[in-house]
Chains A and B, each alone.
Chain A
Amino acid sequence: MRNSDGMEWTREALTERVYRILREDLLSVGDEFTPTSSLIDAGLDSLAVTQLLLAIEESTGVWVDESLLTEETLASAESLAACVHAQIAHA
């Protein structure tokens, strides 16, 4: 899977993408929110997660299976991106 620049989605690029979607579109967070911040503590709820998955699908063309979403995968933007990256690798 490639991004809009024709490059392969790296885990770092996905982390940055997920982080930006969360920060700019879905969560009301301040500067203290980082790619390693807890998503649940930052206010991620079921609607925001589904909207995030839709945005990821739009960017990568891959729909992340909701059953993969657990406390561990939703721990931070980084861990969620790792989950997405693993799914892209198998797509």
Chain B
Amino acid sequence: MPRSPTPDLPLSGADCFLRAFDSEVRRTAGASHLAQLVLRLGPGFDAGAFAKLLAEVAEVQPILRAPIGRPWGILPPVYRIGKASEAAPPRVEIRDAPRQALDSGGAPPLFAERLNERVDARRGQLVRFDVVRYEAGTAGSDLALTWFHPLFDGSGSERFLRWLDEVARGARAATDLPPSAERPVRADARTRGEQAMRWRGRMHGFGARAPRSLAGPLARTPQRLEVEVTSFSREDTARIVDRARKQAGFLTPMLFYLAASIRAHHAVYQLRGTDPQSFVVPLPVNLRTKGSGGDLFGTHVSLLWFQVFPDACADLDALLTELKAQRLASIKEGMVEAGSAAMDYARWLPQRFYAGMARREFAGELCSFFFGFTDEFLAGMDTFLGAPILNGFHSPSVPPSPGSATIFSIREGRLNATHVRQAGVFSGFELVRFQQRLRADLVGEDA
């Protein structure tokens, strides 16, 4: 009896939205729109066994290497699940380094280089792992998961690692994915169309005082990303978390980190004596219900967009008040749903439509900078494949313009502030000023 063909798996609107950014990055910077998660592991990680596990998993989860394409060249993009077996399995590259390299503190330079690479999603190049073993692993290992951004969002990448660990421990079969728990969409096509137009109107409104990023309007520049991670002490982190709760609200600490990031960027404009005109920043909103373990693959986020003017940046409290008001107003106006609806159209539209629209509205920019707050990193998970997790953080790529992204997460009581930037966007003095302002606002001390 002939086997029926394996059905394709459609990309969601949010997946396609990110894929559109990939098109933009390819065109302007010669790279791909990738994201990365880094784990610092103690002794006990068997890289060889991990590579074997991943090969087995990729056999039964073909999405990990499924070519992405548009059927007939015009229909919405899909993962070609039936073609996955023709693609190479995800790569696991293992390198050795001396113990001294571990003492340097930051992640291996190799990991930042991976973010600058160009992958071919049409050939199923969606995910790879890099392992740097120190003293053959006896002193620990660093592990980077680098992926074509539509395959996972930040939360999904953590869920994927958690699930891999469960599979490795035999707690779950490789075929067994946790159930989906995305918030349901309750709107008909007409309503979704109206929502998308409302989102479009919001973007247009921002254009009246279009942002100007620190990288300046787009120039075609080869992508050269630098990644810097600042790990705060437990004492500082306790203070920061307390300030975030008190000043931004028990459930909205992300606004505190967003405000601090805006002010850190603003300090650089002040140093330069230039006018940012406004700060336009998207805040990712996770659409999964909290605590659910499902929805590993794909992008399950909407975006809430904020616009604040330089006058509002003079004082952290005043800026927080403005951000809180905008967040509430946006949710009341249904902008979370509107963002999702607008992204849904990305399934049908040419890839360059969204970046083109943003750059038209914002005088050549996409936004002021990118931002993320993912809260507890792999909460409650102490080991990965038997090795203790010493630290972990996210480091997404950022297009050369705006050329700057801040992302925050907390691992075992220590805040990790990751700053990803295009080389050359910040001078040495500017970087010092940026970091001083950020630390001062987070910890609550004079800059």
Question: Measuring CB to CB, which residues of chain A are less than 8 angstroms from any residue of chain B?
Answer: 26-28, 41-51, 54, 66-67, 69-71, 74
Contacts and interface: CB of A to CB of B under 8 A. Distances in A.
Contact of B249 (A26, A27, A66): A66
Interface stretch (B82-90, B284-292, B357-365): B284-292
A68 B355 CA distance: 40
Question: In this complex, which of A41, A50, A54, A67 has the most chain B Cβ atoms within 10 angstroms of its Cβ?
Answer: A50
5 contacts: A45-B290, A47-B285, A50-B331, A66-B252, A66-B324
A51 B331 contact: yes
B290 A54 contact: no
Contacts of A67: 249
Contact of A47 (B291, B292, B324, B331): B331
Contacts of A54: 331-332
Contacts of A66: 249, 252, 324, 328
B291 A74 contact: no
B185 interface: no
Interface in B289-312: 289-292
Contact of B250 (A26, A41, A71): A71
A48 B336 CA distance: 11
Interface of B: 181, 183, 249-252, 254, 285-286, 289-292, 324, 327-328, 331-332, 336
B227 to A, nearest CB: 28
Nearest to B336: A47
Contacts of A45: 251, 286, 289-290
B238 to A, nearest CB: 16
A1 B328 CA distance: 23
B250 A44 contact: no
Contact of B289 (A27, A41, A50, A70): A27
A46 B252 contact: yes
A26 B186 CA distance: 12
B317 to A, nearest CB: 13
A42 B328 CA distance: 23
A73 B235 CA distance: 27
A14 to B, nearest CB: 20
B250 A69 contact: yes
B363 to A, nearest CB: 31
A49 B251 contact: yes
Contacts of A50: 327-328, 331
Contacts of A43: 289-292
Given A43-B289, A43-B291, A51-B331, 7 more contacts: A41-B291, A46-B249, A46-B251, A46-B252, A50-B328, A66-B249, A70-B250
Contacts of A47: 285-286, 331, 336
A22 B32 CA distance: 40
A44 B290 contact: yes
Contact of B292 (A28, A70, A71): A28
